[in-house]
């Protein structure tokens, strides 16, 4: 989906801040005398592969298809009106032709406004769904970090990670944990 990348960047910052808040409560490096563990996750992969992320994308695609169908109907209506103007325009009186032209222009503007409204509505729903998923994932990451004794967990893309060992990648674990918790939350 076109907008996912843009929305992920914005929401990843919120996720990073949430996880960083947890890390800030952890003792400073070396304070306990041992080595500190650092890991990363790929939020885009969590959204793409987790059950909730897939469900959110599918829901958005269904809504987009419904909106697209309505826009196709509007486009067909406009096309018929345009053809009528072209074919019968010469036979109409000047006033009738002007009325038809104004009707066409009004419907064209309405269709353009509707398309813009649909786009904004989809972006708003997309942001809300992704934010919900990322909030839920944030809690899982925090729990995983505390349970495993990680000093810091960063988001791979948002943190500008240039190199990271695959051993430090917790993404698949987060997806599995999220998928296990998601059905339990739905039963409540």
Residue spans of the domains in the chain: they are 4-187
Per DSSP bridges, beta strands 37-41 and 150-155 are parallel
Task: Give the separation between CA 13 and CA 184, rounded to whole angstroms.
Answer: 27
pTM of structure: 0.62
Comparing C-alpha atoms, which of 161, 131, 177 is closest to residue 152?
Answer: 161
Which CATH architecture is the domain 4-187 placed in? 2-Layer Sandwich (3.30)
Task: Give the separation between CA 118 and CA 73, rounded to whole angstroms.
Answer: 14
Q: What is the mean pLDDT of residues 49-73?
A: 92
Comparing C-alpha atoms, which of 146, 178, 169 is closest to residue 48?
Answer: 178
- Three-state DSSP at 173 gives helix
- Residue pLDDT, tens place only, 10-43: 444 444 444 444 444 444 444 444 577 889 888 8
- Residue pLDDT, tens place only, 128-180: 887 888 888 888 999 989 998 888 888 888 777 767 778 888 999 999 999 99
């Amino acid at each position: 989906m076109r907008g996912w990348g843009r929305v992920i960047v914005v929401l990843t910052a919120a996720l990073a801040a949430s996880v960083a808040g947890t890390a800030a409560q952890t003792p400073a490096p070396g304070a306990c005398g041992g080595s500190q563990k650092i890991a990363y996750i790929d939020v885009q992969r969590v959204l793409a592969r987790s059950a909730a992320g897939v469900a959110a994308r599918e829901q958005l695609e269904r809504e987009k298809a419904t909106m697209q169908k309505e826009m196709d109907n509007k486009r067909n209506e406009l096309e018929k009106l345009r053809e009528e103007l072209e074919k019968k325009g010469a036979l109409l009186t000047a006033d009738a032709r002007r009325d038809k032209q104004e009707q066409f222009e009004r419907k064209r503007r309405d269709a353009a406004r509707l398309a813009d409204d649909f786009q904004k509505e989809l972006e708003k729903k997309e942001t809300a769904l992704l934010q919900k998923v990322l909030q839920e994932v944030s809690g899982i990451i925090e729990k995983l970090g505390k349970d495993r004794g990680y000093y810091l967990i960063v988001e791979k893309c948002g943190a500008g990670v240039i190199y990271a060992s695959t051993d430090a990648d917790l993404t698949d674990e987060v997806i599995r944990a999220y998928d296990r918790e998601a059905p339990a939350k739905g039963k409540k």
